[in-house]
Amino acid sequence: MDYTKAIAGAIAKVLGMEEGALAGWLETPKNTDMGDVAFPCFKLSKTLRQAPAAIAEKLSFEIELPQGVEKAEAVGPYLNFYLHKGQQAQEILDRVLTEGNRYGSSDLGGGRHVVIDYSSINIAKPFGFHHLPSTAIGNALYRIYGHLGYAPVGVNHLGDWGTQFGKMIVAYKTWGTKPVAEYGIRELVDLYVRFHQEAEEHPEMEAEARAWFHRIETGDEEAVSLWKQMKDATIAEVKKTYARMGVRFDSWAGESFYEDKMQPIIDELRDKGISRLDNGATIVDLSEWNMPPCLIVKSDGSTIYATRDLAAACYRKATYDFAKLLYVVAYQQDLHFKQLFKVLELMGRDWVKDCTHVNFGMVSMEGGAFHTREGKVLYLDDVLDAAVEKTYEIIEQKSPDLEDKRSAAEAVGVGAIMWGALYNSRIKDVTFSYDKVLNFDGETGPYVQYTHARCCSVLRKAGGYDRAHVDAALLSDPYSQALLKAMAAFPAAVEAAAEKNEPYLVARATMAVCTAMNKFYYEVRIMAEDEDRKNARLALTDGARQVIAIGLNLLGIAAPERM
C-alpha cells in the first residue's frame, strides 16, 4: 500500500495547504531506525517563515496519523513516520499470496497494442551472440508490457531482402550439393563466404548475382522458390533457438513484406516536396537537423533498409494502431532511427512521438574461446550449449542426486546467459564470461533460480502451511521485514521498467528479493517451534518464491523447482 498520499494529506491538513507538491517531497530514510517515510521540513521554511526544526516539531504534535501509520517523530528538520509493521506486513503478504502470479500486474495498458520489433535476424546469416541483447530485451519487454495490461505484438523484422540473396543463389547453383531445404544456417553462411572469396577473382559473378536478385524481385518462379527455401530453412532453425529462450513472435513480416508497400510512401514524399532528386537518387535532405540525408531510392532504382522501415512503421500503425512502437536495436543504428523518425515527422505522422528506439550496447565474450570456424562470428547457440554443458558439470557436483539434471542444466545454462543480458542498463557494454554468469553465488541468473528452488524445497519439506491463518504481525524481525520490503517494491519496478523500457529494473528488484530471502533463510529459523510463527514464516517463503518466479518469468527465464 502506498502511504505517501495519506501522509501528504495529513501534513497538508495541519498547515492548511494544498496537498500538491508535498507527496513528491516525501523521502525514504536510508536508515530504518529513522522510520519508513520522512518529510524534509526545510522545504517549507521559506513559505512558513519558520525554522525547519520548529515546523517538524509543530507537525509532530498536531498531525492526525493516517491509518496504518504508528507514529510521527520530529528529528531535527525531519518529520519521520513509522508505519504499523504488523498491518503493513499483513497487507503485502496477503496481496502477494492472493494475487499469485498476477502480483505486480495492472491494467495500465488498457489492452492497447505495443508493437515490439526485436531480434530481427537476417536470413542465411549467422544467428550470432550479438543478437542476444535484442532478443532478450525485446522478449522481456514483451512480457513486462503484457503484465501491465498492454497487448504486445512481437515482430521479427527479418532481413530477408537484398542483393545478398542473388549471391546466395549463385553460390548454391555453383556449389550446392543437396536440396536447399536441407541446408543449415552454418552451411548457408559457408556458401555466402565462398561466394565472396571466389567473386574477388571472378567479378562477373557479381553481375550474375544481381541478375538473380532481379529475378526474385520480378517474381521468377525458380528464383523465388530458392529464396523462399533459404528463408524457411533459416526460420526453422532459429525457431529452435527461440524455443530454448522462451521467445515468441506474433509476426515474422520482414523486409520483403514491404516490397509492394513502399511506392505510396515514395510518392507521398515526392508529392509533399519532402524528398528531392540528387544525382538520380531520391533523398530527404536532413541537414537542417544536422543529419546526413536519408536515402530513399538509389540511382539504380532500388530501395533500401530505410525505405522499408518507413513503409513498415506506417503499416504497423494502420494494422495495430499501436500505443507504442519499440525498436530494440543496437546503438549502432542510432542515426538510422533518428533519420527514420524525422522523415515520419516531416510526413506529418504525429504518432511518431510514440516510436522509440530502444537501443543497447555491445556484448562480447571474454577470451572468445568458443569462436566458430569462420573465425569471426560467435553463434548464439554455441554460447547457449557451452553454458548448458558447464552448468551440467556444476550440477553434477552440487546436486548429484537431482533426478533430471539435463533439463535443469538447460534451464539454468540458458537462463544464465539471458540474465547476463538483462541485469544492466541497456546501454552498458557487457563482457560475458562463463565463470561470471554461472557463478551460483554472484548476482547471476543461477543464483536467482537457486533461491527460487530453495524456497520450493523449504515449502515441500514443510508439507505446506495454513494460508487462511497467517499472522504477519509475527514477522517483526528485521530479516522478515527487509524481505517484505523488497517484495513490496516489486510492482513499482515493473512499471518503471516499462516506462523506461529497461528490463534490468525488474532484474534488480528480483535480485533484491533473493538477497533478502537468503538472509532471512540463514538468520531466521523458518521451522520455528511456535506453530503460528512457523506458519507465518512459511507464508513469507511462499510469497518470496512467488515474486521471484514472476521476476524470472517477466525476464523470460525458467524457474525450475529443483536444481
Residues found near ligand ARG in the complex (CB under 6 A): 117, 120, 122, 157, 159, 309, 312, 327, 329
CA distance 244 to 373: 23
- Residue 507 near residue 60 (C-beta atoms within 8 A): no
Of 343 and 540, which has the nearer Cβ to ligand ARG?
A: 343
Of 55 and 312, which has the nearer Cβ to ligand ARG?
A: 312
What is the nearest approach in angstroms of ligand ARG to the Cβ of residue 372? Answer: 18
What is the nearest approach in angstroms of ligand ARG to the Cβ of residue 332? Answer: 8
What is the nearest approach in angstroms of ligand ARG to the Cβ of residue 267? Answer: 22
Of 311 and 437, which has the nearer Cβ to ligand ARG?
A: 311
To 5 degrees, how large is the angle CA 540–CA 545–CA 547? 95
To 5 degrees, how large is the angle CA 470–CA 476–CA 479? 105
Of 312 and 438, which has the nearer Cβ to ligand ARG?
A: 312
- CB-based burial, 52-61: b 16+ in 10 Å, e otherwise: bbebbebbbe
Of 309 and 381, which has the nearer Cβ to ligand ARG?
A: 309
Of 36 and 117, which has the nearer Cβ to ligand ARG?
A: 117
What is the nearest approach in angstroms of ligand ARG to the Cβ of residue 303? Answer: 14
What is the nearest approach in angstroms of ligand ARG to the Cβ of residue 159? Answer: 4
What is the nearest approach in angstroms of ligand ARG to the Cβ of residue 121? Answer: 6
> For residue 324, which of 553, 133, 157, 151 has the smallest C-alpha distance?
151
What is the nearest approach in angstroms of ligand ARG to the Cβ of residue 270? Answer: 23
What is the nearest approach in angstroms of ligand ARG to the Cβ of residue 249? Answer: 13
> For the chain, what is the total number of helices (H) and then of strands (E)?
20, 12
Of 120 and 391, which has the nearer Cβ to ligand ARG?
A: 120
CA distance 543 to 470: 12
- Residue 316 near residue 347 (C-beta atoms within 8 A): no
Q: Give the three-class secondary structure for 81.
A: strand
Of 155 and 411, which has the nearer Cβ to ligand ARG?
A: 155
DSSP letter (8 states) at residue 40: E
Contacts with 343 (C-beta within 8 Å, 6 or more apart), sequence order = 269, 274, 284, 286, 294, 306, 310
Burial of 551 (0-12, 13-18, 19+ CB in 10 A): buried
Contacts with 553 (C-beta within 8 Å, 6 or more apart), sequence order = 101, 143, 559
The three three-digit cell numbers of residue 151, written as one number: 497487448
